[in-house]
Amino acid sequence: MAARRKAALITGAGRNIGRAVALTLAEDGYDLVLNGSSDRAALDRVAAEAAARGAATLVAMGDVGDPASCARIAAEGIARFGAVDVLVNNAALRPSKPFLEMSEDEWRRVMSVDLDAAVWLSRACLPGMLAAGWGRIVNFTGMNAIHGYAGRAPVSVAKHGVWGLTKALAKEFGPKGVTVNAISPGPIASDEEDADAAAAKYRQALVQRVPVGRQGRPEEVAAVLRLLVSDGGAFVNGQMLQVNGGAET
């Protein structure tokens, strides 16, 4: 009987870093659970590209800000592939709004997607990883986890929380064969144009802090994740790898 292929669950898989991660893992022999909250067509396109690279795919739509949706998404992936061996917590909201103008609902919404989703999905996928004695969790933090940015208080707080979660889980589950790491991207080129002048100005200010003088590419982030989930990356645990062209830390 052929060995079961490993499977990866990637949130926010329809574009940008999520898409690049999905295609990289497809090339490395993983089957994929592709999650997004609204754009099914984008996920279907990524699924087709991954299938062309030899991956079996499952599109699992759902809002990862909802604990029940997290449980369902993970359960669908486990039912389809037997387990989720690699969990990539990539989906995030990054709104910009003055702190004193933010509603409680707006604060809670960012926390639910940017922080809580990593908690609930990790809890859903870890039992299978532990049963196999092997697993990888990669969380995305970002420069908001390192710097406090005006107008982005909930994002900074949530991403700091993801970094704390990463370190705690790495210590708890590293002895059991599961590594947990974080990737902190700098400004990365996007499929979409910035929505408004303020967003464009914000991105330009970030790029000015990058010594290599440009934005990164999603594929450059995916290349680092490829190492973290590989057997060769087994001794990297509880780390936050910064993929930011040397931007100030």
Domain CATH code at residue 189:
3.40.50.720
The pTM assigned to this predicted structure is 0.94
Asked, for residue 173, whether it belongs to a domain, the answer is yes
Q: What does the pLDDT read at residue 129?
A: 98
3-state SS of 56-113?
Answer: CEEEEECCCCCHHHHHHHHHHHHHHHCCCCEEEECCCCCCCCCHHHCCHHHHHHHHHH
Asked, for residue 249, whether it belongs to a domain, the answer is no
Asked, for residue 108, whether it belongs to a domain, the answer is yes
Asked, for residue 191, whether it belongs to a domain, the answer is yes
Asked, for residue 1, whether it belongs to a domain, the answer is no
Asked, for residue 181, whether it belongs to a domain, the answer is yes
Q: What does the pLDDT read at residue 208?
A: 81
Q: Give, for all 249 residues of the chain, the pLDDT tens digit.
A: 567 899 999 999 999 999 999 999 999 999 999 999 999 999 999 999 999 999 999 999 999 999 999 999 999 999 999 999 999 999 999 999 999 999 999 999 999 999 999 999 999 999 999 999 999 999 999 887 777 788 899 999 999 999 999 999 999 999 999 999 999 999 999 877 555 666 677 677 778 888 998 999 999 999 999 999 999 999 999 999 999 999 865
Structural domain for 74, as ranges? 7-242
Q: What does the pLDDT read at residue 197?
A: 67
Domain count, the chain: 1
Asked, for residue 247, whether it belongs to a domain, the answer is no
Q: What does the pLDDT read at residue 151?
A: 87
Asked, for residue 2, whether it belongs to a domain, the answer is no
